[in-house]
Structure 1
């Protein structure tokens, strides 16, 4: 770790590196345990974890989180978990969701079921029933989609669940409604958080009348601003800015660029487009980086995706911009079809054209694939999907020219 100018010991949970020790090293017996004295730390300055952002729209960034960052946020989140609860998590420990799962269980006195396999509906149902799981954390709406389309959702015993928590991506309302119909007295909780905020900043614990991510927790502050940096009002969409009592101070290796990430009042520029309604519920619309314009008209990819995902025969979709000329971007849809789906490119194109304004037509094309690229944390890697779509678009137009 010499390149980082850090002299502290590093411990790695999953992988092995030359510069770090395995976590099991801490469990080895020594001859001087009785003389152990915890090191003195500055909780607001000393780093507890280095976590990576998901990298869904670009390269992952390294976020140094201090002891105060971690304990303050997880103390608030742990209030949602009761002593004796059994928790099941699906996130990698390299991400903030994995850290939250690891520490919030300790702070709450809960039992943790540590899953080391990939998420599958079969594995989810098996573990929930085998361990009588009370609280489980999913980190992508596609996992909700997989559960809903699996036949076992109708027969699985989910009565032990008190809370099914999903974060990391926007969850469509129809997913929430369908999931709640299978949960009985338990609760589906949509939430919003970031690595930079050490996890959850808003969670919907009270209703399912819409797909909001709930209300701010603890003493987190937020504001919605326009492109000029002016504050916006109720039901006005703009970029979400956040501030916590203990905020991260910048990305590793990005010294001197704090002004790019924080405004003069100390609010962090999240890059998410959002608004608050009259009940102070927070709605996340899309990532600012993912928005684009076609002939001067704004395109919100998630709006089209949510429509496509409700079409019979569509398993999952991702809408990205494709340059159809030197200066023009147009929406393109990359789609995984369900088994025996009868969907065609023409059908999908016409469905969007008949339901949206002209500038939202899929002029960049409709492309069927067997899988969609994902990041290490399970989120759709939109950058790679955009590269796929561009290649498909070029290949398709090359064939047209040759014919």
Structure 2
């Protein structure tokens, strides 16, 4: 109770740009709206909004590399952002609306690149640095990238990628360690950020212009550029700053929150919440360029973050890794899970390890929504009907649960599973170069996620529409079975996919990772699951023991790889 009351009191002082209107909004028979009042959203470019109050804490650390210790103060960040913006326009001859590719892991220079480009009216397309040249080249071509910003260590990857499309794209490289030499033909990033450029800024950046262009597979199909405007992301930051939603404390003379940024900044969850939101409030970001147990645990012990922003794989790791101790959570004030749903059993394991009553919050969003749509709040935690829920919509946001393939967008009643559709200022402008990719129904954006809500209006996710397993006409959400399986002794991770079955059409098949040094009896696991689910949800597709579950950078299970594994084994 002390944590909650203290948090709300301090949070109330940090929403200077958010003006609350009168009156709340509640669920109706036609849609679900936020219980919180609408907020006024300023029409500011993203870079201006994020750094609006940075002068108040200019000597504080803005970002620090957890691996090398390289860091920048807020004063240095502001200077580098300004210099980089001028260099892009004057030295590299880019025009407003041009695109640069940000091919970087999580490093302290990431916000310099994003905010500097935004200040210059340049669009950033964020690229996963573990992609192959073939994958990167497709994004470079589709986005019409004019410049690539990357690490010295990734210069060969960037060069090979641009070579596949036969385009002369300048490559800017960042030295991540002392003594590194800029590759021949590359441009040294420091030369663009450490020198002032006399470039008159025209000040005409419109908030409806595209700021970032991340790529997402959307509800179906191949990756495509998601056009997120300055207004989209600023809207989401305002929504997250609401005193009853935000968990970070605004920096003061005697306090600065610290957050580990291990979730990838090229992913919208990382970019908006672990980078832009933290900088807006003056927090210190500890960037982790990759996840390794030693690096993550080392920064946890050294920097003692107040907020843990997690995805399910990291939450499960913390709950199960033997070197993570109770004292490592001594400074943690709140845990927030996102990117993919975390089951209540996994949550309980983590809190048991911490041996501390830490508020555990969940959120839901998509690349197409900047990302946040639904969150749990500290004030919700006393309500028992929230257990397992994602929460309720953020301010200025409306959602519906509609029937599959219902083109009338008719809202279903409580406890009826359907597809979530969304309206709000954080919803994307559209897909880049994909006018045929219309995922809107009468202004409502289809998410492809299956959910339901209870009588109290709390929303629960079941699974992705395209990942549901069809068993004799029944729909089985893999996530439900995965949570049950992870509760079986000595299983640290699990994934479930549908495989062909001659009698049922499809049947659930489990892929499980045992705890090191232990063995799993598949038959006992099948019986364990059988005792907890309806007959059509049983693991009639069998069980496979594997070393690890394939996942993308944000922690979502790559089920197609498991299906390919099954197909290969059953040729």
Q: TM-score range by the shorter chain?
A: 0.7 to 0.9
2:426 paired with 1:252: no
> Residues of 2 paired with 1:56 and 1:156: CA distance?
41
2:359 paired with 1:359: no
2:321 paired with 1:145: no
Do 2:219 and 2:448's aligned partners in 1 also have CA atoms closer than 8 Å?
Answer: no
Give structure 2 stretches of 5+ with no counterpart.
Answer: 1-98, 100-139, 163-168, 175-188
SS at match of 2:524: helix
> Residues of 1 paired with 2:210 and 2:552: CA distance?
25
Do 1:180 and 1:187's aligned partners in 2 also have CA atoms closer than 8 Å?
Answer: no
> Residues of 1 paired with 2:356 and 2:326: CA distance?
13
Residue range with higher mean Cα deviation, 213-222 or 122-131: 122-131
- Identify which of 258, 261, 271 aligns with 1:86: 258
> Residues of 1 paired with 2:223 and 2:566: CA distance?
22
Partner of 1:240: 420
**Change in 2 beyond 3 A, CA 1:60/1:163:** farther
2:271 paired with 1:104: no
**Change in 2 beyond 3 A, CA 1:234/1:164:** same
Do 2:471 and 2:504's aligned partners in 1 also have CA atoms closer than 8 Å?
Answer: no
Partner of 2:193: 28
> Residues of 2 paired with 1:116 and 1:137: CA distance?
16
**Change in 2 beyond 3 A, CA 1:66/1:88:** same
Note the aligned Cα RMSD (angstroms). 2.7
Do 1:211 and 1:283's aligned partners in 2 also have CA atoms closer than 8 Å?
Answer: yes
Do 1:56 and 1:381's aligned partners in 2 also have CA atoms closer than 8 Å?
Answer: no
Partner of 1:40: 204
- Identify which of 193, 198, 209 aligns with 2:365: 193
**Change in 2 beyond 3 A, CA 1:115/1:56:** farther
> Residues of 1 paired with 2:219 and 2:400: CA distance?
24
CA shift at 1:362, angstroms?
2.0
Query: What is the 5 A alignment of 1:307-322?
Result: 307-322=484-499
1:275-320 CA-partner distances (Å, limit 9, x unpaired): 2222222211111111131222222212211111100022211110
CA shift at 1:13, angstroms?
5.3
- Identify which of 471, 475, 478 aligns with 1:294: 471
SS at match of 2:327: coil
Do 1:320 and 1:331's aligned partners in 2 also have CA atoms closer than 8 Å?
Answer: yes
Query: What is the 5 A alignment of 1:2-401?
Result: 3-4=141-142, 10=147, 12=149, 16=155, 17=158, 18=162, 19=169, 21-22=171-172, 25=189, 27-30=192-195, 32-33=197-198, 35-37=199-201, 39-44=203-208, 46-53=209-216, 59-79=222-242, 80=246, 81-82=248-249, 83=251, 84-100=256-272, 101-120=274-293, 122-139=294-311, 141-181=312-352, 182=354, 184-206=356-378, 207=381, 209=384, 210-227=387-404, 228=406, 229-258=409-438, 261-264=439-442, 266-325=443-502, 328-392=505-569, 394=570
CA shift at 1:232, angstroms?
0.5
Do 1:75 and 1:104's aligned partners in 2 also have CA atoms closer than 8 Å?
Answer: no
> Residues of 2 paired with 1:56 and 1:389: CA distance?
24
> Residues of 1 paired with 2:398 and 2:485: CA distance?
34
Partner of 2:43: none
Give structure 1 stretches of 5+ with no counterpart.
Answer: 396-403
TM-score scaled by length of structure 1: 0.87
**Change in 2 beyond 3 A, CA 1:22/1:56:** farther
> Residues of 2 paired with 1:254 and 1:270: CA distance?
17
Do 2:326 and 2:355's aligned partners in 1 also have CA atoms closer than 8 Å?
Answer: no
CA shift at 1:173, angstroms?
0.7
**Change in 2 beyond 3 A, CA 1:49/1:352:** same
> Residues of 2 paired with 1:344 and 1:302: CA distance?
21
Q: How many residue pairs get matched?
A: 386
**Change in 2 beyond 3 A, CA 1:10/1:222:** farther
**Change in 2 beyond 3 A, CA 1:23/1:56:** farther
SS at match of 1:156: helix
